[in-house]
Structure 1
Amino acid sequence: NLYKKKIAVEENEELRVQHEAALQQQMSFTEEAKQAAETLQKEIIRMDQEHKATLEQTQKEYDERLRQAAQEALEKIKALEDQGVAMEEEHRRKLEELGNTYQEQLARSEAELLERKRELEGFEEEES
């Protein structure tokens, strides 16, 4: 009977040791899983921050390119306006020159006509 109790105690001790080892192993796995989850969470946060930074940088670059394109467009519009004003002034100047030339030619023609009229009147007086 004592022998059976001794064997039962030894078996209980062996089971207790196995149970404790299993608990230690489970705790170890739990700790590893916890650390893996924390590492994963940190990695997700880091990647999210990188993603946000990349988006912000991309938005800044896009905004800068848009600003530059708008500035270039405004400069081109201003240049075209200046060119249009210059062309308009040149056109006006040429019209004035043509008008002046026309007036000069008209005045010469009128003077020539008056001179011929006088000549004709002079011939008529000589004939009479």
Structure 2
Amino acid sequence: MCAAFEGGAGIAASRATARTFLESVQTEHGLPVSSRVMGMVQLVVSELVTNAHKHAPGPCVVTLEVRDGAVETSVWDSSAVLPTIMAPDPGRVGRHGLEIVMAVCRSFEVHREPVGKRIKTAVVLADDPGGHVSGHRPM
């Protein structure tokens, strides 16, 4: 699924699009999607679209697909400036979005595009009660 969003209203619309996509994954393809996965994917999409809205002129494009047991999210925006990933700081107010995204995703990648950049993430579909929310097992 691919959709373009612009402006602050696009943030809520992107969450709704992610929910609709995951519901179709369940109903049309028979893959189980837990409420945890539903929430995590919506959180990731919301954080990435919020950042695109704050830091890039114009629309952003969100692509969602299921591959290798995970929901892959790709968010393109027109800004060539790569995101700054800050070290965890419990005393910092705000600006924890990418930190959260990286904590809940199996993978996080940033790629420059001919115009702008693309951020790709993957959230594991299967719940793992004995593991970490991102699908990584604690060491």
Superposition TM-score, scaled by structure 1 size: 0.19
- Which structure dedicates a bigger proportion of its chain to strand? 2
Q: Look at both structures and tell me which one has the larger radius of gyration over its CA atoms.
A: 1
Asked which structure has the greater RCO (Cα within 8 Å, sep 6+), the reply is: 2
- Which structure dedicates a bigger proportion of its chain to helix? 1
